[in-house]
Chain A
Amino acid sequence: GAVVSQHPSRVICKSGTSVKIECRSLDFQATTMFWYRQFPKKSLMLMATSNEGSKATYEQGVEKDKFLINHASLTLSTLTVTSAHPEDSSFYICSAYRLIEGETQYFGPGTRLLVL
């Protein structure tokens, strides 16, 4: 399967600071990447669709000014949580879309964010 990496794997920050999470597609070019949030024992909640060279498309209820997404290249998308607060603490997972035989997403290992 395809390989997607995320960095950092864990981050602890103070309330009010900004945190950047990187998502890289290591062995294929991904024109589309997705960002998810997952709460304990819950399924994945899609936050936004990131398209290379254009603005991200956010799901209803997701604040685009709080969760800044940049997809500057075909192998890198970043999610910046701005002015983080404790309620932003969560598990953030990215995925890269690949059209092989059909339409599939390959997921990164996730980033655990804890805001104090």
Chain B
Amino acid sequence: QKEVEQDPGPLSVPEGAIVSLNCTYSNSAFQYFMWYRQYSRKGPELLMYTYSSGNKEDGRFTAQVDKSSKYISLFIRDSQPSDSATYLCAMSISGNTGKLIFGQGTTLQVKP
């Protein structure tokens, strides 16, 4: 069993839809949770960062962390064709020099 599980998709939605991306994990020591967006042939871009449980909102993006269920989510409201990319969840343990454990990535396509 992988430490971090993420459905690779692909996920295809119409423009304007609400998108829900999820990851589950097995290591309860994870404390920092991140979502990265990666366009084709580019490096990952940090979208959202959350510490421990709770919600965080930034524009059209909302990140949720439920440590009791070992489950994290990224919601994208009013999705746009420019949101089409691969979304990677990542998490780390405090004091582990920032080493990240990544999910497999979910490929999202938003159709106009």
Contacts and interface: CB of A to CB of B under 8 A. Distances in A.
A112 B41 CA distance: 8
Contact of B44 (A41, A44, A97, A102): A44
B99 A49 contact: yes
Contact of A108 (B31, B43, B96): B43
Contact of B49 (A34, A91, A101): A101
B104 A104 contact: no
Interface residue tally of chain A, by bracket?
Answer: 20 to 34
A103 B43 contact: no
Given A43-B88, A43-B102, A46-B99, A106 B32 contact: no
Interface of A is mostly: strand
Contacts of B96: 103
Nearest to A93: B43
A91 B41 contact: yes
A44 B41 contact: no
Given A106-B46, A107-B43, A109-B43, A32 B104 contact: no
Contacts of B103: 43
Interface of B: 31-32, 34, 36, 41-46, 49, 51, 88, 90, 92, 94, 96-100, 102-105, 107
Interface of A: 1, 4, 6, 32, 34, 41-44, 46, 49, 91, 93, 95, 97-99, 101-110, 112
